[in-house]
Every structure is written in structure tokens, then in C-alpha cells.
Chains A and B, each alone.
Chain A
Amino acid sequence: MSVPAAILAATYDHGGGQVTLTQTRSAEAPPAAPAEPPAPTPPRRTAFAEGADRLRHAATTEPGRLRIIGALLAALVLGFGAVTAWETTDRASAADDVLTSSQPLSSDAADIYRSLADANTAASSGFLAGGQETAESRARYEKGIRTAADKLVTAAANADPDSPSTPTISKLNRLLPEYKGLVERARTYNRQGFPVGGAYLRYANEKMQQEMLPAAEDLYTKENQRLRSDYGRATPYPWLAIALGTAALAALAWAQRRNYLRTNRILNHGLVAATVTTTAVLLWLLVGHTLARSGLNDSHDHGVRSLTVLNDARIASLKARGNENLTLVARGAETRKVGDETVDAYDYDFERNMDTLAKGLTHARRLADDSTGEKPVAAAVGNMTEWQKRHDAARKQDDNGNYQQALNMVIGPRGTTGECFDNVDANLATALKHEQNEFKSAATDGRDALTGLPVGAAVLAVIGALGAVLGIGRRLSEYR
């Protein structure tokens, strides 16, 4: 009403002086001016306002009130069911991811790291042994490369194109054949008796240490982050569903009390059915989720944590073995300043790897919660002590200039540090397998606790809503 008046006023005020203004105004004005009848009509009201008015009208009569209550109850129960289904689906899929995708991938990443380091260690032992490397070291090298290649394929298949792991995986896929090519060249030259074979091996080792292992470690870290985030999605309480469920139950109780006060009838079948189904869904949700949560937490505390510690220990033992070999390969060529002392770089790294291994084993032993899990770890501790003892003896020989004796104590036929390393590795593999099973059973329990919950909640909620509507309908029919 006021708008056209303003336009008219503006047009008259400026007269013919302001040509442009008048023109624009007049261009707008014609459709508005004739369409607006001078007589006032009631303004159009919003649908909400009309609805609210109608409700207010309805609320003045009992049937109207009943209709409103019925609609609200049905909506609450349905909403509760929907939110429950949504929240539990989310958690169930996260739990499933933990079990079938992110944990296997994280353990695959650890395997990639381990097998790469293993292959590299085997290659350097082969070099130490001279022209005719043993069948065992060759087989060990090939196995490491094969495992790494296999796991890389799995990792690639499970990584989304835009996930942070993808560039790392393709980098490793590119470097692996490069590395293998260098080692094969080293092998060929070694057979011909040319020292350039050793130079190739050093180059391959450099590629492994400076590019591939850091990439594999990066992949391991990323997959572990993914595992943690999946745990984070699977375990939080479904607060919204719980709140809605409680609200629905409270509303149902209030409706039944109101019913009782007005009609003196204790039971309304429909409303009772709605209450029962809602209670069932709420209980199912609480119990199911608590079970799932405890299963998953269990799988984390007794599985994933042990697995991580054991994997780290195994990697430390591999690194130690690699450095032990390289100490003899390099023959003092690499040194490092520690404080005022110049020490052999590889031997220094070896000692630090052994420290990490010892700490890892102690930690793993503390985490092991049954004798089956503890036994291999305890055995590995024994192997490690023996390894350190034999290593010290070998170092003493080398320091006295008895290179051949030292070499025999490290890669010789028997009584070597290599035996101890193999035993540590085998025991850690056993412990890892056990913890993997522990993880799997706990995580499976956790995931299965949520089975059927989303669908069940939806179905029960529909039944409950129907019950509420029918129950109210029964009351309503009394007014007809």
C-alpha cells in the first residue's frame, strides 16, 4: 500500500527536470499503478500463521487436542527410530571399516615396511657372503620383494584416488622396480668379480634408506591415522538418538497419564504398544552400542596397541640386523661424531635399534594379557639378549682386526648373530599373529553387536508410531 504512494510522490516531486529518474520510475510504475485498486483488501497471510491459527482453533476442542497429541507422538517415535537408524548405521559402518578395511590396511602398511627392510637386509647379507650368495638369502630377498609388491597392490586397491596415501603408494610402486634393477645389476657384477657390483648395492641401499623406507613409514602413519579416525567414528555415544528416545518415552507416559486422568482407563493398547516398542529400541540401542563400544575398545587396547608395539619392535630388529651387516660391509667407511668420540655410524645405529627393540619388547610384554601372547615375547627377549652378547663378541673380533672371524660370527654357518635375529623375528611373527587374532575376535564382537540395529530400530519405530496413532484414534472414535 505504501509503496505505490511513494512512487507517485517521487514522480510528482521531480517533475520533468530529472528525465532519467522519471523514466526509470515510470517504467516501473505502469504495471503497479493500475493493478493496485484503491480499496484496501486484507493482506495475504503466511501458511504458518494460518496453520497456527487453525491449531489454536483445534486446541480448543478435545478431539482437536487428541489429534495434535497423536501427531506429535507419532512424529517423536518415528524421529527417534530414524535418528537411531542413522546414527547406528554410521557407527556400524565405521566398526566394519575398522575390522575389514583400516586395520588390515594399517597392518599391510607395516608389512610393506617390514618386507622392504627385510629384502634390503637380505641383499646386504648376500653381498657380505661374497660372489656366491646363499640360496636362503636369495629366497629371503625375493620373498621380501614379493610381499611388498603384493601388499602395495592391496593398498592401492583400497585407497581412494584423492586419499593422502595414494601418492605415497604410487611413489613406492615406482621405486620398487628401480630398486630391484639396481640390486640385479649389483648381483651380475658381483658374479663377474667386479667391485662396481658393491657400488650398485650401496646405491640401492641408499635408495631404500633415503626414499623407500621413509615413504613406507609415511604410508604406515597415514593408515594408522585412518584407523584411529575410524575408531573415533565408531565409538562415540549416539546422544541424539538417546535424547530423542527419552523424550518419546516421556511424551508417551504423559499422554497415557492424561488419558487415564480424563477417562479413568488405565490401558490404551495402541499407546502401550508404542511405549513397549520405543523402550525396546532404546534398550537395544543402549545395550548394543555399549557392547559394540566395549568390543571395539577391547580390540584397540588388546589388539591394535599390541600390534603397533610389536610391529615397531620387529622393524627395529630388522633395522638392527641391516646395520649390523652394513658395519661389516662398510668396514669403518662411515663414521659419526658422538660427543667428542668418533664412532662407526652403522654400529652406533645398531645399538640404538637394539635399544628401541628392548624397549618395544618390554612394552609388548606389559601389554600382553595372556600367556599365549606373552610367551613368544618373552622368548624374543631371550633371543635379543643372546644376540647382543654374540654381537659384542663379533665387534671385539673386528676391532682387533680379525675381520674374517667377525664375519663368521655374523653370517657364518652356525652360532651367529643371524640365528638370534631369525629367532627374534620368528617369535615376533608368532606374537603378531596372536594379537591379530585377538583384535579380530574383539572387533568382530563389537561390530556384530550392532547387527540388525538400524533396520530393527526403523521397523520398531514404525510399529510404535502406528500404535500411537491407533491408540489416539481409538479415543478419537469415541467422539464420533
Chain B
Amino acid sequence: MRGGVTDMLNKARRMRAGLRGWGGVGAMFTACALALLLALLLTCTGSTARTTPDAAPAADTGSNTARNAPNAPNAAPRPGTAHAPGTMAGAAAEAEDCTAPEKQTLSPSDADGPAIEAIKNRPGEKRKLIVGVDQNSYRWGYRNPNSDAGGSGNGGGTRLEGFDIDLVHRIAEDILGDPDAVQFKAIPTAQRIPAIQSGRVDLVVRTMTITCDRLKDVAFSAPYFKTGQQVLAPKTSPVTGYDETLADRRICTAKGSTAYAKLEEDRKSGDLPASTDISTQVPNQLDCLVRLQLGEVDAVVNDGALAASQAAQDPTVELKGDAFTTEYYGVAMKKDADDLVRRVNQILVDWRKDTKNGWQASYDTWLSATLAGDSSKSEPPAPEYLRKS
């Protein structure tokens, strides 16, 4: 009798366990079915879904144009938007057919406007240009620990220097009449856009690539440098470039950089092996070199210009393969600081023209050593100014 009862109990327990297992499978099945259904629905309504994310920045642009009333009429007569009954749709179209972001800037002008007046009207010692820079990009914007700080008495090494810094001094000289009327703020890669939007800095000159995404949040000057993403790895590494040799490798990128966006996109599309680990993201591109040297990652993907400056600090690493994108650096400013954008574009034109103390001189001083001498590969094309407002 007792055996029978135990048997029955066991059977019931087994049955319940079995049911529980089936419950799990059932739930999973339902979840799968739901997911499939949702995916189907999404593809069906794809056209409407795609326009929705654009609507938000469009509204933003709309309010901006509304604020700058005199410029508003310019927005209407645009190719492909002529039939659109309003600035909102026009801006949406602009974002959609953004193919050459480096051309989306305003034509140069010397005139002072509200943004420049505000900088000039800063009282006393605060009458300085506040610029977001990097202090870790060798030869671009960095603290040379061995430089002379000019009689500071504590060994020097506090001055920032580099290609970007030269440009900053140039802008300060032009706007405020004093190349040293600058307050430098060091900004991590991911903080560049928030720093501009919150008004913590007037401009960002920090090897910042002009992209369509970023154009939604900030305004860019004309490009002042041409570069492209490249792979950096130890000389002994089997990695040969941006290709299948990156399978099973760990790649380091800077948080919020164009490099990470590209890697993520390519891994989804299958251009980058799915087994590549791109989870390591650091606040500053230079931190990638630290991780690489400590063996925590196998390769670094970065703008070629910056990757070269990393390689210049460590003779055991090198650039692998050619650049696999084309990117342009620009000066970033607040979206509605039109007069400042025009002014910076004017300064850039003059800087490129100036052969003695301009672009070429800075290139020779800072970059010819790390970028193998030839400046023609880095020169941006003649600027185009397609943005009208």
C-alpha cells in the first residue's frame, strides 16, 4: 500500500515537472510568435516608422528657424522640398538626403552677430574664448610634459599644444585680438556635443568628425582636415587590416566616437565578423593604447590621424591596412550660432591660404612626422557651403 501511494505521489510530481517544462516551451513559443508578428507589423508600416525619428529633430530645426526669423524664408525653396508645405517637412527631407555632411555649413563672413558679441562682451578677465579641446591627442591637442610653461617655476608641462590648438589660437586672435585669450576645457569624446549644447564651451576643436547624426545637434564649420578610420595593432599581430582577420579579436574604441558607430553598423551588416568583440569603450581614444599595451584588447580602431599619433608613442604598434572610411574634421559650435559659424569658416579660408603661419605650417610642425610627410592626403577638398540657414 505504502509503495503504491509513493508511486502515485512520484507520478504526480513527475507529471507536474513535465507540465512545467511544457509551460516553459509554450511560453517561449508564444514569445517567438509574438516577436515574429511584431517584426512583420514593423516591416509593413516601415515607411511611416522611418519618418517618425526624423520628425523630432525636424521639429527642433523648425523652432530654430522660427527664432532666426530673417533666415526662415530661405529654407523653403529647396530641391525636393518645394512641394512640402512647411519648414518641418523641409528639414526632415534635409536630414534624409544628408550624404555629404561636410558641405552642410554656412558661407563665410566677417560680420559680428549675437554669438560673437556675447563672447566679446564678457567682462574683464573672463573676456576669453571658451574652447573644448583634448589634452591627450599627441600632436593634436596635448600637454607636453616637457614643454616650458613660461617661467611658471614648477617644471612646465601645463601648456596645451598641437594642430588643433594652433587653430584655436588663430580663432581667438581673430575674434578677440589676442591668441592667448582662450580658456581651454578638456572634454571626453562622448561629452563634446552636450558641452556645446549646454553652453559650457563656445566651440569644440577636438578632432571632431562632421557627421549627419551630429549635424542634428550642433553646427559644423567647413572641414579643416581629411582622415579615415584605420586599424592599429601590434606589429606582431596577425591582424592585417579592417577585414576577416579581426574575427575573435577584441577591439577598443572611444565612447561616442564615429569609429564605434561604424563598427556597430558593420557588425550588424556582416562587413565585420560577428565574433569580433567591440565591447571595450573608453572615455578617450588614448586610453585604447593603454588597453592595447596591457593586452586587454587586440586592436584599436580610430581615425587614421589619431591612430598615427598613437603609433608615434609606441614603436611596437603600427597602422594595419588602409583607411576604410573618409571623414572630415570640423569645428563644432552651437546650432544657432550662425554668425560664429560664418566667422570660423572665414578664418579657415584665411588659415588655409596663409602659407607662412597657416594650415601648412601647423601641419609641418605637428603632423608631418607622424603622418609620413605628405600633406596632400590630409588636405580637405575646397569647401562648399550648402547650408542656407
Kindly state whether residue A190 has any CB partner on chain B within 8 Å.
yes
- Does A237 sit within 8 A of B, measured CB to CB? no
Interchain nearest-CB distance for A33 vs B (Å): 33
Q: In the docked arrangement, what's the CA distance between A408 and B136, Å? A: 22
Question: Which one of A191, A199, A331, A403 has the greatest number of beta carbons of chain B within 10 Å?
Answer: A199
Contact with A along B354-366 (1 / 0, CB 8 A): 0000000000000
> Chain A contacts of B314 at CB under 8 A?
196
- B157 CB within 8 Å of chain A: yes
The residue in chain B whose Cβ has the minimal distance to the Cβ of A332 is B185
Contact with A along B133-153 (1 / 0, CB 8 A): 001111000111111011011
In the bound complex, what is the Cα–Cα distance between A413 and B154 (angstroms)?
7
Q: A407: CB under 8 A from chain B?
A: yes
Cβ–Cβ contact A408 & B154, under 8 A = yes
Complex contact A198–B143 (CB within 8 A): yes
A452 at the interface (CB under 8 A from B): no
Question: Considering the chains assembled together, what is the distance between the CA atoms of A194 and B157 in angstroms?
Answer: 11
Q: Flag the segment in A127-135, A259-267, A373-381 that touches B.
A: A127-135
Which of A131, A191, A195 contacts B136 (CB under 8 A)? A195
A403 to B154, alpha carbons, bound, how many Å? 13
Partner of B191, one of A134, A333, A403: A333
Identify the closest chain B residue to A195 (Cβ).
B142
Q: Are B145 and A193 in contact (CB under 8 A)?
A: yes
Collect the chain B residues with CB atoms within 8 Å of residue A198's CB: 135-136, 143, 145, 286
Which residues of A lie under 8 Å from residue B200 when comparing CB positions?
332, 335, 342
Kindly state whether residue A86 has any CB partner on chain B within 8 Å.
Answer: no
Q: Determine the chain A residues whose CB is within 8 A of the CB of B191 once the complex forms.
A: 333, 335
Could you say which residues of chain B place their CB within 8 Å of the CB of A129? 154-155, 157
B58 is an interface residue with CB less than 8 A from chain A: no
Given the complex, which residues of A lie within 8 Å of B293, measured CB to CB?
Answer: 185
Q: How far is the CB of A169 from chain B (nearest CB, A)?
A: 25
Is B287 in contact with chain A by the CB < 8 A criterion?
yes
A400 touches B125 (CB 8 A): yes
Q: Assess whether A149 is interfacial by the CB under 8 Å rule.
A: no
Q: Are A407 and B152 in contact (CB under 8 A)?
A: yes
Q: A197-B145, A400-B126 are in contact. Are A412 and B185 (CB under 8 A)?
A: no
Residue B170 is within 8 A (CB to CB) of chain A in the complex: no
CB distance from A435 to the nearest CB of B (A): 36
Are A130 and B289 closer than 8 Å at their CB atoms?
no
A273 within 8 A of B: no
Taking CB atoms and an 8 Å cut-off, the chain B residues in 259-313 that contact chain A are 283-284, 286-287, 289-290, 293, 310, 313
What is the CA–CA distance of A412 and B183 in the complex, to the nearest angstrom?
20
Determine if B130 is an interface residue (Cβ-Cβ < 8 Å). yes
Q: Are A130 and B313 in contact (CB under 8 A)?
A: no
- Chain A 205-223 against B: per-residue CB contact (8 Å), 1 yes, 0 no? 0000000000000000000
Tell me whether A404 and B313 are in contact (CB under 8 A). Answer: no
Contacts of A185 in B (CB 8 A): 293
Binary contact readout A391-435 vs B (1 if CB under 8 angstroms, 0 otherwise): 000000000111110011001110000000000000000000000
Whether the Cβ atoms of A404 and B187 lie closer than 8 Å is no
Contact present for B290 and A203 (CB under 8 Å): yes
Complex interface: chain A residues within 8 A of B156 (CB): 130-132
Nearest B residue to A400 via CB reads: B125
Are A342's CB and B188's CB within 8 A? no
Given A193-B144, A194-B138, residue A401 in contact with residue B158 (CB < 8 A) = no
Given known A-B contacts A130-B156, A198-B143, A408-B153, A331 and B135 have beta carbons under 8 A apart: yes
- Residues of A315-360 at the interface with B, using a CB-CB cut-off of 8 Å, are 330-335, 342
Say if the beta carbon of A202 comes within 8 Å of chain B.
yes
Tell me, in angstroms, the Cα distance from A413 to B187 when the chains sit together. Answer: 29
Q: Quick check: B186 and A401 within 8 Å, CB to CB?
A: no
Residue in B125, B145, B182 whose beta carbon sits within 8 Å of that of A131 in the complex? B145
B125 contacts which chain A residues (CB < 8 A)?
A: 400-402
Asked whether any CB of chain A lies closer than 8 Å to the CB of B128, the reply is yes
The answer to the question of A439 belonging to the interface, with a C-beta cut-off of 8 Å to chain B, is: no
Tell me, in angstroms, the Cα distance from A132 to B148 when the chains sit together: 11
Given contacts A195-B142, A196-B313, A198-B135, contact A203 B287 (CB under 8 A): yes
Rounded to whole Å, the gap between the CB of A8 and the closest CB of chain B is 30
**What residues on B are CB-neighbors of A407 within 8 Å?**
152, 154, 158
Query: Is the contact region of chain B dominated by helix, strand, or loop, or is it mixed?
Result: loop
Please determine whether A404 and B152 come into contact, CB atoms closer than 8 angstroms. Answer: yes
Chain A: minimal CB distance from B18 (Å): 40
User: A199 contacts which chain B residues (CB < 8 A)?
Assistant: 136, 284, 286-287, 289-290
Q: Are A130 and B158 in contact (CB under 8 A)?
A: yes
* Measured CA separation A376–B192 after assembly (Å): 47
Of listed A198, A200, A202, A332, residue having the most chain B CB within 10 A: A332
Are the CB atoms of B145 and A404 closer together than 8 Å?
Answer: no
Contact B289 A403 (CB under 8 A): no
- Is A189's CB within 8 Å of the partner chain B? yes
Q: CB within 8 A of B183: which of A128, A193, A401, A408?
A: A401
CB distance from B223 to the nearest CB of A (A): 25
Known contacts A332-B186, A404-B149; is-contact A131 B155 (Cβ 8 Å): yes
Q: Is B198 an interface residue (CB 8 A)?
A: yes
Q: Are A190 and B145 in contact (CB under 8 A)?
A: yes
What chain B residues lie within 8 Å of A193 (beta carbons)?
144-147
Cβ A195 vs Cβ B135 within 8 A: yes
Q: How far apart are B359's CB and chain A's nearest CB, in angstroms?
A: 23
- Chain A residue with the shortest CB-CB distance to B157: A130
Residues of B near A330 (CB, < 8 A) are 186
Q: Report the separation of the CA atoms of residues A334 and B126 in the bound assembly, to the nearest whole angstrom.
A: 22
CA distance A94 to B278 in the complex (A): 56
Query: Is B351 part of the contact surface with A, judged by Cβ < 8 Å?
Result: no
Q: How far is the CB of B367 from chain A (nearest CB, A)?
A: 15
Q: How far apart sit A411 and B149, CA to CA, in the bound complex (Å)?
A: 14
Which residue in A132, A194, A196, A403 is a CB contact (below 8 Å) of B184? A403
Q: Quick one: closest A residue to B141, CB to CB?
A: A195
Whether B187 contacts A131 by the Cβ 8 Å rule is no
Nearest CB to that of A342 among chain B residues? B198
Q: How far is the CB of A303 from chain B (nearest CB, A)?
A: 41
A351 to chain B, nearest CB (A): 19
**Complex interface: chain B residues within 8 A of A202 (CB):** 287
Residues of B43-74 contacting chain A, CB below 8 A: none
- By the criterion CB–CB under 8 Å, are A196 and B290 in contact? yes
Q: Which residue from A190, A334, A404 sits with its C-beta under 8 Å from B158?
A: A404
Contact status B146-A131, CB under 8 Å: yes
Chain A positions within 8 Å of B137 at CB level: 195
Contact A401/B153 with A199-B289, A331-B184, A333-B188 known, Cβ cut-off 8 Å: no
Enumerate chain B residues within 8 angstroms of A401, measured Cβ to Cβ.
Answer: 125-126, 128, 130, 182-184
* Measured CA separation A199–B154 after assembly (Å): 21
Interface 0/1 of A153-196, CB less than 8 Å to B: 00000000000000000000000000000000100011101111
> In the bound complex, how far is the Cα of B125 from the Cα of A203, in angstroms?
35
Closest Cβ of chain A to B369, distance in Å, is 13
In the complex, what's the smallest C-beta–C-beta distance from B207 to chain A, in angstroms? Answer: 13
CB-nearest residue of chain B to A204: B290
CB of A189 within 8 A of CB of B313, answer yes
Which residues of B are found within 8 Å of A335, using beta-carbon distances? 191, 200
Report which A residues bind B (CB closer than 8 A).
128-134, 185, 189-191, 193-200, 202-203, 330-335, 342, 400-404, 407-408, 411-413
For the complex of A and B, the 10 pairs showing the least CB-CB separation, nearest first, are: A130-B157, A401-B183, A131-B145, A331-B186, A332-B185, A131-B146, A400-B125, A194-B313, A195-B142, A132-B155
Interface residues of B (CB under 8 A from A): 124-126, 128, 130, 135-138, 142-147, 149-150, 152-158, 182-188, 191, 198, 200, 283-284, 286-287, 289-290, 293, 310, 313-314
Kindly list 4 other residue pairs between chains A and B, CB separation below 8 angstroms, not including A333-B188, A403-B183, A411-B154. A131-B155, A195-B137, A195-B143, A404-B152
Q: What would be 5 A-B contacts, judged by CB atoms less than 8 Å apart?
A: A195-B286, A197-B145, A198-B145, A203-B287, A333-B283
